[in-house]
A and B are shown apart, each in its own frame.
Chain A
Amino acid sequence: MAKVPVQFTLNGSENAEFIESGTTLLNALRDKIGDTSPKGGCHQGTCGACSVIIDGELKLSCLTLAETCNGADIKTTAGLAEGGVLHPLQRAFLDAFATQCGFCTPGMIMAAKVLLDRTPNPSREDVVDALSGNICRCTGYEPIIQAVLVAARANSRTAA
């Protein structure tokens, strides 16, 4: 299989790789670049564990071919912490016991980040809607919803 060049920004750093044509972004991130924060759950677009942010929009990396991301700005949960300090969403997930096995967490956090970037003070309904494409099999959804609401409040305090 012919290899094709792919170049994109990942969490602020330029990346250039040769990949096999037809490789999903999920496999390119995990196997070529070594960012294992997006998880491969269902590979069917159902679970949301592979969610990443591409050019500001939440997308599923398991259904996105890497070569369609040339020139894109991609963000994953691995790029959220700054200088060892966790992002407010990560902090809130820990504090609210919103992670158990942790498999769904990076996808949940990406979905929540897009929400808070656009809607800094979301309602509970907004949070439920934003997380509706992400499945958790451990904690149940209540601590996750609470964590996002707590992070939103922390954000608005910082902004004030």
Chain B
Amino acid sequence: MSLALQTFSSVKDANTALQAPGTRYLGGGTLVVRAANEGDVSTSSLVRVTDSGFSQIAVAGGKVRLGASVTMAAIASHPELAALTPAARAIGGPAIRNMATVGGNLFAPAPYGDFAVALLALDATVVTEDGETPIEAFLAGRDTSRAIVTAVGFALPKTESFRFLKVSRVKPKGVSVLSIAALLQLAADGTVVSARIALGCMADRPIRAAAAEKALLGCKLTPREIAPALAAAGEGIAPITDPIASAWYRAEVLPVHLGRLLSN
């Protein structure tokens, strides 16, 4: 392995260094060091930032701001982020959760990136030096994105309105067959007023189940009323095939698991 690590105290200097060919940003190392260990020689230089703000979690006025270097373990143990604990704990084993970062998860290719699925359902914004980008647009352009992510922000969901499910063959730690996150707002009578559903492993990156979201509006979460949404869940998906599951299998079981998530 031939890697050179450059450490900067400011994001601006690190962003400049990141423009050089063959340079990637080092977060927790679970993606870029892993790639280097696997023999990926396309990266010759790594850049990191030691700014303490990158590791800070701020919860105020119903808003959450997670620094890009905040780890999954830090989220899972934060008393005010209980709604996100299932999503943070879905990532790897204990050691991986102590290393894997929020910023890195935004770039994790399927079948990884389950936390980004949660962030997509939460309609998070991704913060860089260039400003704030809605997560959907950020994920769509992440392959060519060269600006260092400094934080993500989102409105803190009520525990009862945010649901997350990761399906894996090995428990408690296993790679995703699929993951689903749903932010649901229900009226007093249990009717869905708004729905935002994100899917993992249904493309090379997290995507929204737009047709299912639309079909859920005005429904109560009963098996009969959610049936049209489940039937629409597969619209626009292009699941991955890997050693965990085929695209066919993932597409077949998606409505089943979405149904379980909605019925709980």
Q: Which residues of A contact B4 (CB under 8 A)?
A: 1-2, 21-22
Decide yes or no: A65 and B98 within 8 Å by CB, A21-B5, A129-B172, A134-B93 being known contacts: no
Please state if B34 and A111 are interface contacts (CB–CB under 8 Å): no
**A43 at the binding interface (Cβ < 8 Å):** yes
Could you list which residues of chain B lie within 8 angstroms of chain A, going by C-beta atoms?
Answer: 1-5, 7, 26, 28-30, 33-34, 36-38, 46, 48, 73, 92-96, 98-99, 172-173
| A residues 113-159 touching B (CB-CB < 8 Å) | 114, 128-130, 132-134
Please state if A65 and B94 are interface contacts (CB–CB under 8 Å): no
Who on chain B is nearest to A129 by CB?
B172
Q: A22-B4, A43-B37, A63-B33 are known; give 12 further A-B pairs, CB within 8 A.
A: A21-B4, A22-B2, A44-B38, A45-B95, A48-B93, A57-B98, A58-B98, A60-B99, A114-B94, A129-B172, A132-B94, A132-B172
Q: How many A-B residue pairs have CB under 8 A?
A: 88
Please state if A129 and B94 are interface contacts (CB–CB under 8 Å): yes
| A residues 20-60 touching B (CB-CB < 8 Å) | 21-24, 43-45, 48, 51, 57-60
Who on chain A is nearest to B35 by CB?
A44
Please state if A48 and B5 are interface contacts (CB–CB under 8 Å): no
Who on chain B is nearest to A44 by CB?
B34
Q: Which of B5, B92, B95 contacts A67 (CB 8 A)?
A: B5
Q: Which residues of A contact B99 (CB under 8 A)?
A: 45, 59-60, 63-64
Who on chain B is nearest to A22 by CB?
B3
Q: Which residues of A contact B94 (CB under 8 A)?
A: 58, 111, 114, 129-130, 132-133
Please report the total number of A residues contacting B with Cβ < 8 Å: 30
Minimum CB–CB distance from B243 to chain A (whole Å) comes to 12
Q: Which of A2, A23, A62, A132 contacts B93 (CB 8 A)?
A: A132
Bits for A47-85, please: 1 = Cβ < 8 Å to B, else 0: 010010000011110111101100000000000000000
Please state if B33 and A133 are interface contacts (CB–CB under 8 Å): no
CA distance A48 to B93 in the complex (A): 9
Minimum CB–CB distance from A32 to chain B (whole Å) comes to 14
Could you write out 29 A-B pairs with CB less than 8 Å apart?
Answer: A1-B2, A2-B4, A21-B4, A22-B2, A22-B3, A22-B46, A24-B37, A43-B34, A44-B34, A44-B38, A45-B30, A45-B34, A45-B96, A45-B99, A58-B98, A59-B95, A60-B99, A62-B33, A63-B33, A64-B33, A64-B99, A65-B33, A68-B5, A68-B29, A128-B172, A132-B94, A132-B173, A133-B92, A134-B93
Q: Which of A57, A63, A65, A68 has the most CB of B within 10 A?
A: A63
Who on chain A is nearest to B100 by CB?
A45
Q: Which residues of A contact B73 (CB under 8 A)?
A: 57
Q: Which of B5, B95, B172 contacts A65 (CB 8 A)?
A: B5
